[in-house]
Amino acid sequence: MTTKDSANIKELLNEREGFHKWWRLIRPHTLTASFVPVFVGTMIALNEGTINWLLFFAMMIASILIQAATNMFNEYYDFVRGLDNDQSVGISGSIVRDGMHPKRIRNIAFIFYAISVGIGIYICIVSSWWIAIIGLFCMAIGYLYTGGPFPISYTPLGELFSGVLMGSVIIGITYYIQTSTITAEMIWISIPITIFIGCINFANNIRDRDGDETGGRKTIAVLIGRPNSVKLLGILFIVAFAITIILILTGILPAWSFLTLLSVLPAIGVIKEFQGKTKAIEMMPAMAKTAKTNTIYGMLLGLSLLISGLL
């Protein structure tokens, strides 16, 4: 690729220099998958009693750091394996367009992991050391998603791992450190969030399908094709909203949680943005709306639980 080509893609993606390239490095649009579960898990716990807000903020920061580090490992290993080039979208472009040294990005990721471990020690001291085992497992999966000899991102299991770990597991940890217990109701409430977070990964893989196929990845999108993947994405959205309605009607969620149905509109927008698109850069709006759907749903769900807990 020529320097002109690289400049063109930077312009199309609105990539600026200075602080902006460091901000892009953590892929901020994906961080919804880290703060929403912590917020929701804490709001579920609020309905069981009082909240330790210091624990809440500690868990929030640790979760965001682990997510950002995972994104950096993704950037590093995709470059090392030759999957990224200066025309790739959906990446920060820190290596292939900004010229940052690959090992520098990898080392920053390890620093983020180290800070999150320090925060995790505080969380364990205040709550339970069992959290350390689960937290280290989550960090290992974050690294192995693109690192190691058999990257998870090269298999059809990427959506499952990201959804369950960032959804149900993080919500479970957040709830447990506040209440010292796990309930069936909490697990049920976590399922729609798990689906929406998995959908963020799925939307990313739908957009990157052609490049992933060339790079040897066997994601769901590669295996069943883009049109079928978009249909499956729509089905997953329907399932998540259907479960939410069932949870409200059965009393597991409060009536206030009907507010979450406002996120149906951006979910519909995701499918519309994907339809008829074949180029990765054309599907960027769909990817952004998928993350927005998770954010709106998660924040409204958390808000509904907060209102219920305060009334």
Burial class for 36, CB neighbours closer than 10 Å (0-12, 13-18, 19+): buried
Asked if residue 288 has pLDDT above 80, the reply is yes
Across 15-19, 114-118, 119-123, 170-174, least confident range: 15-19
Tell me the pLDDT tens digit for each residue of 29-75.
Answer: 778 888 999 999 999 999 888 889 999 999 999 999 998 998 888 88
Return the percent helix, strand and coil in the chain, to nearest 5.
Answer: 75, 0, 25
CB burial string 89-122: b at 16+ within 10 A, e below: bbbbbbbbbbebeeeebbebbeebbeebbebbee
- Average pLDDT for residues 78-87, to the nearest whole number? 69
Asked if residue 76 has pLDDT above 90, the reply is no
Q: Tell me, what amino acid is at 223?
A: L
Alpha carbon of residue 207 to chain centroid? 16
Could you please report the per-residue DSSP string of 127-191?
A: S-THHHHHHHHHHHHHHHTTSSSS-GGGSTTHHHHHHIIIIIIHHHHHHHHHHS---HHHHHHHH
In this prediction, residue 18 carries a pLDDT of 58
Q: Which two structure tokens, joined as six digits, stand for 251?
A: 């009393």
Alpha carbon of residue 196 to chain centroid? 9
In this prediction, residue 278 carries a pLDDT of 86
The reported pTM is 0.88
Q: Which two structure tokens, joined as six digits, stand for 211?
A: 């490049």
Residue with tokens 């409200």: 248
Across 44-53, 76-85, 156-165, 239-248, least confident range: 76-85
Higher per-residue pLDDT: 167 or 99: 167
Asked if residue 185 has pLDDT above 60, the reply is yes
Domains of the chain by range and CATH? 22-297 (1.10.600)
Higher per-residue pLDDT: 82 or 5: 82
Residues in the chain: 311
Contacts for 20 with CB less than 8 Å, ≥ 6 apart: none
DSSP summary character for residue 15: -
CB 161 within 8 A of CB 138: no
Across 3-7, 92-96, 146-150, 169-173, least confident range: 3-7
CB 24 within 8 A of CB 18: no
CB 1 within 8 A of CB 86: yes
Asked if residue 159 has pLDDT above 80, the reply is yes
In this prediction, residue 243 carries a pLDDT of 98
CA distances from 145 to 25, 122, 237 (A): 17, 26, 24
